[in-house]
A and B are shown apart, each in its own frame.
Chain A
Amino acid sequence: MRYRRPGLDVATHVILIIGALIFMLPVLLALMASTHTLPSLLSGGLALLPGSEGLDHYIQLLTQPAGGVAVPTWRLMLNSLIMALGIAVGKLTISIIAAYAIVFFRFRFRMLCFWLIFVTLMLPVEVRIVPTYGVVADLGLLNSYPGLILPLIASATATFLFRQFFLTLPPELLEAARLDGAGPWRFFRDILLPLSKTNMAALFVIMFIYGWNQYLWPLLAASDADYATLVMSLRRLTIAQDGVPPWQLATTMTVLALLPPVAVIVLMQRWFVKGLVDSEK
């Protein structure tokens, strides 16, 4: 219930707008700074408005190596994209079929399998980072896309969400399909997969963002610049040269790094919110 009190309503909107602005401020300032030269940033005066450089820094970064990064940023973005897509698609695929097996089949050691997978919910890759590095190195997967992707899909979050979703489906759906002559594969393809579309979209958004934003693992696994990702390279541009980091480039690269995931989240907001809230319930 909401009392209609005009004064309170205005105050509510004012606080919300101020809140939203404060949250946008760092990105707005970075966006402005990316259009200024470093001397103009240093000379004081608040860089609250677009500067003289326009998109020059973006073109410069995208086309040529800069700072301590040996490849142009388009290459970093490509690597990030491959890694994020690989994680999202890979995790979705292995999770949905694993959840399908656990929910719709009865076989020996079924619960053991469930618990083996479930335990992985507990430990993010950061905790086991050193031995994971060792394993990936032993397998010869350092500086490769599989090496970037595989350790990050070894977790059960998506399996768990699909399992919970499958359990909400009426059991008669499977029985009707069996009477209609559908075997395990047909049931999966014709019934389960179409019904899971919304959940898959939601998880895709979450996993894409998770993959794109990885920092520590690519830092270790991609020592070769050809496999470096955008987010892990940000730090290289914040290292001071002559006392001050090249902020005009660091802000440019940060804007490039946050643009794709933010675009995904804003465009797919409906699925994202549903997926997030459902998955954690």
Chain B
Amino acid sequence: MLRAPAEVVKRYEALLNTIWTESARYLGEFSASLLAKRVAWEISLEYPAIELVEFRPDGVSCSRIPVPQEESDAHVEEMFAKFTQKYMSVLTKLLGRKRAREIGEKAGLCPATENTGAVRTLEEGC
């Protein structure tokens, strides 16, 4: 089911906020920010808009992401999904599978997300 882009951006903003907050507890804000920037740089090679996501000490903001009014959400959703997958994948390597899974679960992600599986939420059913 395709969602309106604004809804997608809002949903991912909430998800990234949880991941960001939880991972900063282990990595520290500085390293979590570096990790986000590193992942954003990689994803930006394909989706330049990802660099507009702001990772600040008070949380993640997607307000600068341009939201297309008429297009489907597939492109935006794909961008966020790839970002989340990559972030969780590196997090798993740095913190170990158990901690990364805990962080993912707090954000409502299915366990497969920490590897390279599709980003699905517990809400959607794994």
A and B co-occur in one complex: no
